[in-house]
């Protein structure tokens, strides 16, 4: 179908709108009085409705429509925001998200949303009831209210010579199958007229969510009595009254409504006034921003990156050739080209940077839900969400952060009662911050909860045999805290659904390390803990130390290197069948890379080139033949045919077009 080309745009934009709904709903929960927020959500929902209807996703359009009705109620101050209502709204947005995900995954976007719709409808109906209580006079007038679109339709049909009627149909009290009768009435109406709107809505009518009568707004060329007669032919219809609709009176009516509300609730009046304006004002700046960015498919960026990498390799060759030829003009041109491609490289790399916001965005909703599930009060503070990371890192970092946050809520923050007893505010605070420092990005999760109990951690670690009594003596506080990330460790007394699922923090640690990052823990008992994640800016281009063993080249990531050293044969000591050296007062085991990687070595040498690498607190010395130098390289995978190879994390292409393997230092340090 023709729609295919728009599908991608539709999915992207829908996701944006849903994200907006989510964020704004959370805002709304904090400031239930702020009608600007409601307007914002309404706009998103409205756009979504329009888009999904165009694309033919009925369920999606239907649900957004109902969502819109409720929002409209809030906007017009017919409904007041309550927690229950927020739950239903959130549930509706969740359903929408599920449908969009299904569409994105190639599905048809269909989902049974009846329960959510009926809940929304129930809320909307609540509106009618409360309204009845407040002012009966108003209810008669605005029993059927029309939005702008419907008003336009009515206006246009009038201009074309149609009449508009509000037809009130009453069914007999003993009518059993009300929905069936409604259906028949509609069938009759559709023959003689166009139905513009019904009150209650068609869905409610189908579910028999109404008393004995309902009102339908129609436009027709027939006169009122003919319509009445046709409808009366349906059996069990007691009465049908068509009332001519006074369209010119809409505006006056709306104004009157405001006046009445103002008279009724003088304090709320000011807000009603305000709420009418921001809708117009806010739309203008939004349009201006929209044109500054374009959407580019990530695959295309990857292709661009790949092509550029090839260019970099050829650049290397060209530089070499021009050096050999030593031709003045050629040298100049090559130099210029190198400079330009250097600029190009930084632009392409920044193009792949994504703000962490895209990951952080989903956390407020999650925290809210978890806090409710666990009966805790939690305030999530996010800062530095515009810090940028390469999208390869962004893609991977979400799950570990979710885990850490769940952990902070489940194990960190105490229950309100406990907190009150300790003299803390009942609402716990979780600080999620991201910032940039050097070649790294730090993401920290700080809670003001109970902190980590060193004794408990040690008891557990000892009983599980993760550490020995001896080791404990020499451990620093942060080393002890880091035990909770050791595999086979879980401090939760009772295994909860939230974070104690057996796969504990060790998974988080592994994931972060596989990204080339580290995680550290600081904690003060009674005051809370900080989990600090350090991540490299990018995964696709890394700095390495290029080394040579015989004729083979190996690259060692600079991030794990502490320093390089030259070691004489007699400085090598033997301990526990292992060769070690004394490095600045520390005993460091040596790893002979030629043995690990089966390189045929001809002669034993007296002097060894050693690279000291680090994994957490542990050190090791990697022995190579010679150092070539430091270089920025593009990380490539070895592909799935070769699978996992011990101590090799990937490959890279050097300036001369050869492939060099990248050493995985973490695997070499035990």
Partner 1 sequence: MTVLVNDLKVIVFQLLNKEYAVPVQNVQSIEKVMHITRVPGVPSHVKGVVNLRGVVTPIIDLRTRFGIEAGSFDEHTRIIIVTLDGREVGLIVDSANDVLDIPETSIEPQPNVVGSIEADFISGVAKIERRLLILLQLDKVLENVS
Q: Which residues ranging from 111 to 130 are in contact with partner 1 (CB under 8 A)?
A: none
Given the DSSP bridges, would you call strands 378-383 and 428-437 parallel, antiparallel or unpaired? parallel
Q: Minimal distance in Å, beta carbon 373 to partner 1? A: 42
User: Is residue 15 within the footprint of partner 1 (CB under 8 A)?
Assistant: no
Question: Nearest-CA neighbor of 634 among 542, 514, 496, 544?
Answer: 542
Question: Nearest-CA neighbor of 650 among 544, 550, 536?
Answer: 544
Q: Which residues ranging from 276 to 315 are in contact with partner 1 (CB under 8 A)?
A: 306-307, 309-310, 313
Q: Which stretch binds partner 1 (CB under 8 A): 101-109, 188-196, 204-212, 659-667?
A: 659-667
CB nearer to partner 1: give 504 or 650: 650
Q: Minimal distance in Å, beta carbon 588 to partner 1? A: 23
Among 122, 177, 321, 642, indicate the residue that binds partner 1 (CB under 8 A): 642
Q: Minimal distance in Å, beta carbon 662 to partner 1? A: 11
CB nearer to partner 1: give 353 or 647: 647
**Three-point CA angle 71, 74, 75, nearest 5°:** 85
Say whether 145 sits in a helix, a strand or coil. Answer: coil
Q: Which stretch binds partner 1 (CB under 8 A): 164-172, 334-342, 377-385, 657-665?
A: 657-665
Point out the residues that are catalytic: 46, 68, 407
CB nearer to partner 1: give 381 or 595: 595
Q: Minimal distance in Å, beta carbon 421 to partner 1? A: 57
Q: Minimal distance in Å, beta carbon 154 to partner 1? A: 58
User: Is residue 624 within the footprint of partner 1 (CB under 8 A)?
Assistant: no
Q: How many residues bind partner 1 (CB under 8 A)?
A: 31
Record the tokens describing residue 160, joined without a space.
Answer: 């074309």
User: Is residue 658 within the footprint of partner 1 (CB under 8 A)?
Assistant: yes
CB nearer to partner 1: give 363 or 554: 554
Q: Which residues ranging from 575 to 604 are in contact with partner 1 (CB under 8 A)?
A: 596-599
Q: What percent helix, strand, coil does the chain show, rounded to 5?
A: 50, 25, 25
Per the omega criterion (within 30 degrees of 0), is the bond before 200 cis?
yes
Q: Minimal distance in Å, beta carbon 184 to partner 1? A: 58
Among 660, 664, 665, 666, indicate the residue that binds partner 1 (CB under 8 A): 660
What DSSP element (H or E) covers 501? none
Say whether 492 sits in a helix, a strand or coil. Answer: coil
To 10 degrees, the CA torsion angle through 492, 497, 502, 505? Answer: -70
Residue 224, strand partner residues: none
Q: Which stretch binds partner 1 (CB under 8 A): 33-41, 159-167, 382-390, 651-659?
A: 651-659
Q: Minimal distance in Å, beta carbon 622 to partner 1? A: 14
Q: Are the C-beta atoms of 378 and 428 separated by less than 8 Å?
A: yes
To 10 degrees, the CA torsion angle through 355, 356, 357, 360? Answer: 170
CB nearer to partner 1: give 181 or 352: 352
CB nearer to partner 1: give 169 or 591: 591
User: Is residue 640 within the footprint of partner 1 (CB under 8 A)?
Assistant: yes
Q: Minimal distance in Å, beta carbon 77 to partner 1? A: 58
Question: Nearest-CA neighbor of 445 among 355, 536, 532, 356?
Answer: 532
User: Is residue 450 within the footprint of partner 1 (CB under 8 A)?
Assistant: no
CB nearer to partner 1: give 477 or 550: 550
What is the DSSP annotation of 340-409? HHHHHHHHHHHHTEEETHHHHTTHHHHHHHHHHHTT--EEEEEE-TT-EEEHHHHHHHHHHHHHHHHHII
Record the tokens describing residue 231, joined without a space.
Answer: 């409808």
User: Is residue 637 within the footprint of partner 1 (CB under 8 A)?
Assistant: yes
What is the DSSP annotation of 164-205? EEEEEEEE-TT-S-HHHHHHHHHHHHHHHSEEEEEES-HHHH
User: Is residue 667 within the footprint of partner 1 (CB under 8 A)?
Assistant: no
Among 5, 423, 629, 646, indicate the residue that binds partner 1 (CB under 8 A): 646
User: Is residue 83 within the footprint of partner 1 (CB under 8 A)?
Assistant: no
Q: Which stretch binds partner 1 (CB under 8 A): 167-175, 196-204, 323-331, 643-651?
A: 643-651
Q: Which stretch binds partner 1 (CB under 8 A): 139-147, 227-235, 431-439, 658-666?
A: 658-666
Q: Minimal distance in Å, beta carbon 546 to partner 1? A: 13
What is the DSSP annotation of 549-582? ETTEEEEEEGGGEEEEEEEEGGG-EEETTEEEEE
Q: Minimal distance in Å, beta carbon 309 to partner 1? A: 6
Record the tokens describing residue 361, joined without a space.
Answer: 């965005």
Among 171, 245, 623, 661, indicate the residue that binds partner 1 (CB under 8 A): 661
Among 270, 347, 420, 645, indicate the residue that binds partner 1 (CB under 8 A): 645
CB atoms within 10 A of CB 453: 14
Q: Minimal distance in Å, beta carbon 664 to partner 1? A: 12
Q: How far is CA 32 from CA 36, 37, 73, 131, in A?
A: 10, 9, 13, 19
How far apart CA 298 and CA 308 sit, in angstroms, is 15
CB nearer to partner 1: give 262 or 552: 552
User: Is residue 326 within the footprint of partner 1 (CB under 8 A)?
Assistant: no
Among 552, 558, 572, 631, indicate the residue that binds partner 1 (CB under 8 A): 552
Among 15, 436, 614, 636, indicate the residue that binds partner 1 (CB under 8 A): 636
Count Cβ neighbours within 10 Å for each residue of 521-550 and write b for 16 or more, e otherwise.
bbbeeeebbbbebbbbbbbbbbebbbbebe
Residue partners of 159: CB distance under 8 A and separation at least 6: none
User: Is residue 320 within the footprint of partner 1 (CB under 8 A)?
Assistant: no
How far apart CA 652 and CA 313 sit, in angstroms, is 11
Residues that bind partner 1 (CB under 8 A): 306-307, 309-310, 313, 552-553, 596-599, 636-648, 651, 653, 657-661
């Amino acid at each position: 179908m023709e729609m295919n080309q728009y599908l991608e745009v539709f999915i992207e934009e829908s996701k944006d709108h849903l994200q907006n709904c989510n964020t704004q709903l959370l805002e709304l929960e904090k400031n239930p009085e702020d009608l600007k927020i409601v307007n914002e959500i309404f706009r998103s929902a409205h756009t979504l409705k329009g888009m999904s209807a165009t694309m033919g996703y009925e369920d999606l359009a239907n649900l957004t429509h109902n969502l819109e009705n409720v929002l409209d109620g809030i906007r017009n101050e017919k409904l007041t925001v309550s927690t229950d209502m927020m739950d239903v709204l959130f549930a509706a947005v969740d359903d929408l998200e599920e449908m969009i995900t299904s569409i994105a995954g190639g599905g048809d976007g269909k989902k049974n949303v009846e329960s959510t719709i009926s809940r929304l409808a129930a809320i909307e109906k609540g509106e009618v009831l409360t309204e009845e209580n407040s002012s009966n006079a108003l209810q008669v007038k605005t029993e059927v209210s029309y939005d702008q679109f419907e008003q336009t339709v009515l206006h246009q049909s009038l201009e074309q010579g149609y009449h508009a009627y509000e037809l009130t149909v009453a069914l007999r009290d003993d009518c059993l199958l009300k929905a069936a009768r409604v259906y028949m009435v509609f069938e009759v109406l559709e023959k003689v007229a166009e139905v513009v709107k019904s009150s209650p809505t068609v869905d409610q009518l189908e579910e028999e969510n109404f008393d004995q009568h309902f009102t339908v707004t129609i436009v027709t060329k027939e006169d009122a009595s003919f319509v009445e007669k046709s409808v009366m032919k349906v059996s069990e219809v007691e009465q049908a009254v068509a009332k001519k609709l006074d369209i010119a009176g809409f505006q006056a009516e709306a104004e009157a409504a405001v006046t009445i509300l103002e008279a009724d609730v003088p304090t709320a009046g000011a807000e009603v006034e305000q709420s009418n304006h921001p809708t117009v004002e806010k739309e203008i700046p939004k349009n201006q921003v929209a044109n500054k960015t374009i959407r580019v498919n990530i695959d295309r960026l990857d292709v661009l990156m790949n092509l550029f990498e090839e260019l970099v390799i050829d650049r290397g060759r060209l530089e070499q050739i021009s050096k050999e030829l030593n031709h003045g003009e050629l040298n100049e041109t090559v130099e210029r080209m190198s400079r330009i491609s250097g600029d190009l490289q930084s632009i392409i790399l920044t193009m792949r940077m994504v703000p962490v916001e895209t990951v952080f965005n989903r956390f407020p909703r999650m925290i809210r839900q978890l806090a409710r599930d666990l009966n805790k009060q939690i305030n999530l503070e996010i800062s530095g969400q515009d810090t940028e990371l390469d999208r390869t890192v962004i893609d991977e970092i979400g799950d570990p952060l979710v885990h850490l946050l769940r952990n902070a809520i489940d194990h960190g923050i105490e229950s309100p009662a406990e907190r009150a007893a300790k003299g803390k505010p009942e609402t716990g605070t979780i600080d999620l911050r991201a910032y940039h420092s050097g070649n790294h990005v730090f993401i920290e999760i700080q809670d003001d909860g109970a902190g980590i109990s060193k004794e408990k951690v040690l008891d557990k670690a000892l009983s599980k045999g993760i550490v020995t009594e001896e080791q404990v003596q020499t451990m620093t506080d942060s080393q002890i805290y880091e035990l909770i990330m050791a595999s086979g460790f879980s401090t939760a007394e009772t295994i909860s659904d939230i974070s104690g699922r057996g796969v504990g923090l060790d998974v988080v640690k592994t994931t972060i390390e596989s990204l080339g990052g580290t995680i550290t823990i600081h904690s003060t008992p009674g005051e809370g803990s900080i989990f600090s994640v350090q991540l490299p800016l990018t995964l696709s281009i890394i700095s390495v130390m290029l080394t040579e063993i015989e004729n083979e080249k190996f690259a060692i990531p600079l991030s794990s290197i502490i320093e390089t050293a030259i070691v004489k044969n007699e400085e090598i000591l033997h301990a526990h069948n292992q060769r070690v050296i004394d490095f600045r007062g520390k005993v460091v085991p040596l790893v002979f890379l030629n043995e690990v990687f089966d390189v045929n070595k001809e002669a034993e040498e007296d002097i060894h080139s050693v690279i000291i690498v680090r994994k957490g607190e542990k050190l090791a010395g990697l022995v190579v033949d010679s150092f070539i130098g430091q270089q920025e390289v593009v990380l490539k995978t070895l592909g799935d045919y070769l699978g996992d190879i011990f101590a090799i994390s990937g490959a890279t292409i050097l300036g001369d077009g050869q492939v060099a393997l990248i050493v995985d230092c973490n695997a070499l340090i035990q």
